[in-house]
Structure 1
Amino acid sequence: MTVPHILVVDDEPDIRILIREILEDENYRVSIAENGTTARQVWQNDPPDLLLLDIWIPDIDGISLLREWIQGHPKGAPVIMMSGHGTVETAVQAIRLGAVDYIEKPLSMAKLLLTVEKTLATSYELPSPSKIGERSPPLLEPAGKSLLMTKLREQARRMADDEAPILLIGEPGSGKNPFAQYLHAVRSSRCEGPFTAVDIASLKPESQDLELFGESLDHQNQPGILLEEGRRGTVFLNGIEALSPISQRRLYGLIDTAASMGTITSEQRFPRLVAATSVDLLQLVEAGRFQEDLFYQLSVLPLAIPPLREHPEDIPELLNYFVNLLVEQEGYPYRHFSVAAQNRLRNYNWPGNVQELRNLVRRLLIIGGGTEIGLAEVEASLKPISITGTPLSIDLGLPLREAREQFERLYLEHKLRETGGNVGKAAKLVEMERTHLYRKLRALGIDAKQLGNQE
């Protein structure tokens, strides 16, 4: 049996070497290229069965190289695109050109391996230039067939027809991000542009202004997310309450200017804004911590995302949805919930909402055995996790950073012993991307194979 040949084209040495090592561990034959010139030499001398192609490479962009590959090899190997700076717009363009899939960085190695396996197992014929543009990714809706969710989607569709900012309000984990993406996707004039999600709390207050709005530095313009990167699409500002006072004032001015311009055109300078919060913004206004006029600008079109406990009839569908999603994307073994297990989860309070449900499904797929998830297994998973009494020899006199590294080393070594040194299984147990885990193990000086041999 011929071993599939995979060509990895990426300008980052660490990334392409890591991908090569992981793919070779899975018994693939792998070539690597740091630019378009080397990639052309490889595919001319040793045509690959699959290309993993980065969007940004030094001598030519990945989209142009994809087009060149398709035009020169109409019956050639399928292409999976990769990018750390990807947008919906780039993904749509790549799919329409003929790429079979698109994976964002930081790469999920589980998803990458599953995509590679499925792609190589499927017969693909690259589209002729005349067929380019006929393919488009499907539109995904927030899951749930309850009357509450049906009305909510209909309300979102009506809101998407207007250019005013939308404010999503809901408890943590209730699904504000999926609704923001849905609002972007159902808007025909915006869905071809990028969807850019920004977690405000992850930005340092002193750098928010630069990140969001950009500025001129040494006579060179440094673009910001709102004024450049996302201007033709939708920008999702999650955790809007964490905006610094300076950024609040600039955002108010941006929205005010956009409103004064009237009808949006394809050359519109400003993005469609969708903001989200899990707190009562009006209380922050009354406390002087949030700008009042910005609050009223953002709340022209409020959309309340209900907590999961208010639509428990959707829980069976959500369980099935996340099982299928994780099996397809992460390669977990398929399992189904018994009627008793589903009934128990319908009557659970879900303090962490949809995000907690997804995490529970992931945990049960990883640690469980058998095809059915029963009531006893669900009950055990709902119990709070306690680590009291766990013997960990950590020097509590160390500074926090060093103590944390010591704990991480002990914790990861324990998980690797549990899995016999299998990094992929350990990554699933710790709910960590395999790429990140490989890097963490290297940083901590942990040899997974050696730990596996100790069992």
Structure 2
Amino acid sequence: MSKAYVLVVDDEPDIRELVREILEDEGYAVATAESADQARSLLRERTPQLVLLDIWMPGDDGISLLREWAQGGVCPFPVVMISGHGTVETAVEATRHGAMDFVEKPLSMGKLLATVEQALNAPDAVAAPAGAPAAVVEPVGRSSAMRDLREQAERLAGTDSWVLISGEPGSGRKCLGRYIHSLSERRAGPLVEVAAGTIAGQSAAHELFGQVRGDQVIPGRLEAAAGGTLILDGAADLDAEAQTRLASAIDAGSFQRVGGSERLSLDVRMIAISRRDLTAEAHAGRFRPDLAYALSVIPLTVPPLREHAEDIPELVVFQVDRLVEREQLGYRRFTVAAQNRLRNHHWPGNVQELHNLVQRLLVLGDGIDIEVGEVEAALSERPAAAGGDSDWPQALALPLREARERFERDYLQRQLQRADGSVAQLARLAGMERTHLYRKLRALGIDPREGGESGGGRA
């Protein structure tokens, strides 16, 4: 399987062919277009995982084409602009519409390859309105429950069977889905996630199947996931109309974009996630029985943290190391007494709750050792403690900029948890435009790909 499918849009034949040869030598599948119209035509046939887009072309320019692709709020694939005559204003406009980077003419092939690889591996590489997948982690724990879960996931990864992952919120369900994809034959293909509860009615059909409006093609999630895996989070919340369309697509093995006539192959592995039993939902008349059976070929259940509490010391070490590395927080260690207190907590929020508590103690605490009294105080705080009243005495002693950043970080982390990891839903809750929201999350060191289930595994 090729590393990725790249579309090169440039009106200069020499540039197009040179870039094609270089990328194909690196294992990429490449298509080229000399104009915006030709690019639109190629998009009808297949959705790229990356577009290299010239700014200055006859007919529609690259910025106009980028703006057209980004009408849904976020461009459905990463775009790197190519320009020999760029200005600061042009760069700002392109960035505002979702361009990830620029390469200048004359092209440096070394820089081009580095930019392509960086764009494809970026957090929003398979850009989509509901956010992009997180880094893959292996489920952590030496308990029999977690060993069994890893073994089941590894066996499943060797097949192309569809999987239904159930479990309580915060238990690491999406982490498990990403882990299965990372071990599968489809791991070189895209991993696309969609939160079913954030789309409804016609927007659900557009989101999943894409749409055609005149000459404009807007790919959907199924198309973006071709050759890879689609994680359908909150499957039980899928809109009735979307259930019908999806069941029909599964039965036919193909689907049409809304407003289009071309049939596209349904070449995805579906990993559905649900906190509710889809079969029970079908018996109650709230879910299509045929779709419930199709999504539930192989059921997996992630155990709640209270059922494998013996893994908490290992999880704590993992969380500390990850937060120190990824967010540059100061290192602290939990004493044995503190770890024992954590083992005896009920953990209604599961691994996500543990992650939040560890993060809070690293950020707000002093000294190397985290003693049992500090853990007890943190556990006794109300659920919204991150950013709650108990934090204000320390926050008020900070400079205004640092206090504002702390509030924004706590606020957005809490809202991201409420949104169950959906950046689209987070944007609605926070009242922010999604492009600006992505920049804010990156500036604050918040990884939207955690999806409300941070660190249920090992990096």
- Indicate how the Cα distance of structure 1 residues 67 and 369 shifts in structure 2: closer, same or farther if over 3 A, else same: farther
Q: Structure 2: which amino acid aligns with 1:214? A: G
1:345 is paired with a residue whose SS is helix
Q: Distance in 2 between matches of 1:329 and 1:305?
A: 25
Pairing 1:34-433 to 2, within 5 Å after superposition: 36-37=83-84, 62=101, 68-69=107-108, 71=110, 90-91=120-121, 102-104=122-124, 140-188=137-185, 190-218=186-214, 220-226=216-222, 228-258=223-253, 269-385=266-382, 417-423=396-402, 424-430=405-411, 432=413
The one of the two structures with greater contact order (alpha-carbon pairs below 8 A, sep at least 6) is 2
- Indicate how the Cα distance of structure 1 residues 73 and 387 shifts in structure 2: closer, same or farther if over 3 A, else same: closer
Q: Structure 1: which amino acid aligns with 2:230? A: V
Unpaired stretches in structure 2, ≥5 consecutive residues: 1-61, 64-79, 89-93, 126-133, 255-263, 415-426, 437-459
**Identity across the alignment (%):** 35
Q: Give the structure 1 partner of residue 74 of structure 2.
A: none
1:323-346 residue CA offsets vs partner (Å, 9 max, x unmatched): 111111111111111100111111
2:148 is paired with a residue whose SS is helix
1:422 is paired with a residue whose SS is helix
Q: Distance in 1 between matches of 2:135 and 2:233?
A: 24
- Contact 2:249 2:266 (C-alpha < 8 Å) held by counterparts: no
- Indicate how the Cα distance of structure 1 residues 275 and 251 shifts in structure 2: closer, same or farther if over 3 A, else same: same
- Indicate how the Cα distance of structure 1 residues 387 and 285 shifts in structure 2: closer, same or farther if over 3 A, else same: closer
Q: Give the structure 1 partner of residue 6 of structure 2.
A: none
1:61-107 residue CA offsets vs partner (Å, 9 max, x unmatched): 85977995463799xxx979876xxxxxx21xxxxxxxxxx4549xx
- Indicate how the Cα distance of structure 1 residues 416 and 65 shifts in structure 2: closer, same or farther if over 3 A, else same: farther
- Indicate how the Cα distance of structure 1 residues 348 and 39 shifts in structure 2: closer, same or farther if over 3 A, else same: farther
Q: Distance in 1 between matches of 2:310 and 2:116?
A: 38
- Contact 1:308 1:353 (C-alpha < 8 Å) held by counterparts: yes
- Indicate how the Cα distance of structure 1 residues 414 and 199 shifts in structure 2: closer, same or farther if over 3 A, else same: farther
For structure 1, which segment, 413-422 or 152-161, has the greater mean C-alpha deviation from structure 2 after superposition? Answer: 413-422
The number of equivalent residue pairs is: 319
Q: Structure 2: which amino acid aligns with 1:163? A: D
Q: Distance in 1 between matches of 2:384 and 2:309?
A: 31
- Bigger Cα Rg: 1
Q: Distance in 1 between matches of 2:331 and 2:282?
A: 48
Q: Give the structure 2 partner of residue 396 of structure 1.
A: none
Q: Distance in 2 between matches of 1:416 and 1:80?
A: 41
2:141 is paired with a residue whose SS is coil
Q: Distance in 2 between matches of 1:66 and 1:371?
A: 51
Q: Give the structure 1 partner of residue 260 of structure 2.
A: none
- Contact 2:170 2:351 (C-alpha < 8 Å) held by counterparts: yes
- Indicate how the Cα distance of structure 1 residues 196 and 323 shifts in structure 2: closer, same or farther if over 3 A, else same: same
Q: Structure 2: which amino acid aligns with 1:310? A: E
Q: Structure 2: which amino acid aligns with 1:210? A: H
- Contact 2:229 2:269 (C-alpha < 8 Å) held by counterparts: yes
1:348 is paired with a residue whose SS is coil
- Contact 2:81 2:102 (C-alpha < 8 Å) held by counterparts: no
Q: Distance in 1 between matches of 2:338 and 2:289?
A: 47
- Contact 1:81 1:103 (C-alpha < 8 Å) held by counterparts: no
Unpaired stretches in structure 1, ≥5 consecutive residues: 1-10, 13-32, 42-52, 84-89, 92-101, 106-136, 260-266, 389-406, 444-455
Q: Structure 2: which amino acid aligns with 1:257? A: A
- Indicate how the Cα distance of structure 1 residues 300 and 36 shifts in structure 2: closer, same or farther if over 3 A, else same: same
Q: Distance in 1 between matches of 2:207 and 2:409?
A: 33
Give the RMSD, CA atoms, in angstroms.
4.4
1:289 is paired with a residue whose SS is coil
- Contact 1:240 1:276 (C-alpha < 8 Å) held by counterparts: yes
- Indicate how the Cα distance of structure 1 residues 245 and 268 shifts in structure 2: closer, same or farther if over 3 A, else same: closer
- Contact 2:82 2:103 (C-alpha < 8 Å) held by counterparts: no
- Contact 1:415 1:426 (C-alpha < 8 Å) held by counterparts: no
